[in-house]
Amino acid sequence: LDEIGNHPSGQAVILLHMAGLHAMQDNTATAHATLNRARTLLDTLGPTMTAAVTEPAAFIAMLAGDPAAAETHLRLEYESLDRMGEKGYLATTAALLAKAIAAQGQNRYDEAAHLITISREAGAGEDLSAQIIGQGLSARILAHRGRHAEAAKLADSAVALAAQTDLLSQHADTLLDYAQVLAAASRIPEAHAAATQALDLYQRKGNLPRARESCRYLAQYATL
């Protein structure tokens, strides 16, 4: 921020990243304050730029354990992109929205699955992030439906795709998805190993909320 000087859009981009980093360190109030600073700067640049706040806001909400708030942020963006007929950003937004919806309970898995289909049809095959999210979530939904072999294959594919990137948190997310799929198939030692790998990646990233989530899964598997 010191180096970029009086450059509103540049400052805003940096602040958006900082907000996510604060959220990963459990500094939720600071994360929201930083996000609001970015939003104020972007407001001066027009409504198109303000949309850049959506994904970081949803990310912060998910880390804070509030997927309903994340859904609210993402749904507004999704509906806006859908009205415009925009496909590139729609793929990622639909995948993230599906993830937020699924995090609110298995009773919403059908809705999440529909959004993953929309994401895929919007071009998620060309969007690695959307593809990773979609495959991991689809694997969990298949496991919930008892289709364990298909679920394991898809979850393994998501992990392999994420491993090609330097996105440590997203890679860890796919490992937790895989752990849930394996546990649903009563493959507990393998589920424990996947969750352990996820914990290591979250700790390397400094993502404290998701590291705790990994620990919860590890504790659960230890009792099975």
Contact 11, 1 (CB under 8 A): yes
The pLDDT, as a whole number, for residue 85 is 81
In angstroms, the CA 17 to CA 11 distance is: 10
- Is the pLDDT at 143 greater than 90, yes or no? yes
Cβ neighbours of 47 (radius 10 Å):
9
Q: Tell me what the mean pLDDT of segment 98-118 comes to.
A: 97
Question: What's the pLDDT score for residue 125?
Answer: 58
Q: How many CA atoms, within 13 angstroms, populate the side-chain half-sphere of residue 161?
A: 23
* Residues 32-90 pLDDT 10s: 999 999 999 998 887 667 678 999 999 999 999 999 999 999 999 999 888 888 777 89
Task: State the pTM of this model.
Answer: 0.94
**Average per-residue pLDDT in the chain?**
94
Residues 180-211: pLDDT tens digits? Answer: 999 999 999 999 999 999 999 999 999 999 99
Q: Which residues are CB-neighbours of 68 under 8 A, at least 6 positions away?
A: 100, 104
**pLDDT single digits (tens) 7-25:** 999 999 999 999 999 999 9
Helix (H/G/I), strand (E/B), else coil: 211: helix
